Amino acid sequence: MRTALAIARKELSIYFTTPWAYGVFTAMAALSSFLFVNLLVEFQLRQAEARASSWEQMSPNLHAYRNLTDGVVVPLWGIVIAITLFVAPFLSMRLFAEEKRNKTFELLMTAPVRSIELVLGKYLGGLGIISATLGTTLIFPLVLSFHGHAESGTALDWTTVLLGFGGVLLWGATCMAVGLFISALTESQMLAAFLTFAVLLPWMMLTGVAQSAEEPLRSVLLHLSFDAQLHEMTRGVLEVKALVFFASVIAFSLLLTHRTVEARRWA
């Protein structure tokens, strides 16, 4: 494990000393900030409508705007999840592909490092960078907690907010695991990024497919859908099935990565 942590440290230092990671941070911050402000404007608009009539007169679909957590933070996490789908492949693409392109992968293979340590080290490094990227979005609930008001004193339901952020982190961790596996398959970073995106995007869109399918396929597709699994967690409901699902995808991706790295030894 010590070797894995050393590899993770090295990976993180590479990320944080290259402008590439900051470019990704900037993209994440700019996009999420823009959409966050739009959510605020929409929230204020709906609250003004409710003040003019009453919440009971408004459509139940708009009742989420009663509260800052449901009206702003929950949709914000949905947006961050969507942005992560684009950002994570650019962070994961270099993990193995760069080593292969620079021909340092063979050096790693001959070093006294076990494949499992190598895979875990690379993954922990990737996990660190995606957590830092997603961590920048925590600034938004903090801003809301300063400006929001509620009768009970606290404008945000922090349990829901933090559970939603946990869901976002879980999603980021899953993206990095899938990206790590695909990065181990090729030496082209762009190809790795593109393939990661090409795998995650349809996987994310399985909910739409499930809705037009009949049972029992529908239930299976919904269980496999990232979107459906994250839905409850971002709303403040913790489900064992979602945790097991994400842990399974991460574990299986790491296993495939490990077998791919091992294959280089006996290829």
Partner 1 sequence: MKATHLGQYLGALGLMLLLSSPVTLFITSGSLLAAGVKAGLGLVLVGVFLATNLTSFRQFATSQASVALLRSGLVVLAVLCGLVALNYVAATKGARWDLTQGRIHSLSPQTVTALESLPEKVVAIGFLPPTHEANALLESLFQRYHEQVPERFEYQLLDPNNNPELAARFNLRAGQASVVLVRGEGPNASHTTAASVSEQDLTNALIRLTSVGTQRVYFITGHGEWPLEKDQANPSDPGATLSELRRQLLHEGYAADAMYLVGTTDIPRDASLVIIAGARVPYTQPEVEVLRKYLAGGGRMLYFADVGLEDGLGPLLAEYGIQLDEGIAADSQFNSGNPYVLVSKFYSNHAIVQPLLQRNLNVQLPMARSLGLLREGLAPGVRVEPMVHTSQNGWVETTPTQNAVPSDGEKAGQLTLAAAITRDTSDTPDKRFGEARLVVLGDADLLLDSNWGHEANRNLVMNALGWASHQVARITVRPPDREVSTLELDLSAVKRMRFIATDLFPLTLMGLGIAIWLARRHK
Q: Which is nearer to partner 1, 5 or 240 (CB)?
A: 240
Q: Which is nearer to partner 1, 2 or 51 (CB)?
A: 51
- Angle between helices 226-234 and 74-92 in degrees, nearest 10: 140
Q: Which is nearer to partner 1, 191 or 209 (CB)?
A: 209
Integer Cα distance of 20 and 231 in angstroms: 31
Integer Cα distance of 14 and 129 in angstroms: 10
CB of 86 to partner 1, least distance (A): 15
Q: Which is nearer to partner 1, 3 or 47 (CB)?
A: 47
CB of 108 to partner 1, least distance (A): 19
CB of 191 to partner 1, least distance (A): 17
- Dig out the tokens for 202 from the structure: 């349809």
Q: Which is nearer to partner 1, 1 or 22 (CB)?
A: 22
CB of 102 to partner 1, least distance (A): 17
Integer Cα distance of 21 and 164 in angstroms: 24
8 Å CB contact between 137 and 32: yes
CB of 2 to partner 1, least distance (A): 26
Return contacts of 217-220, CB within 8 angstroms, 24+ apart. none
Alpha-carbon torsion (46, 48, 77, 190), positive or negative:
positive
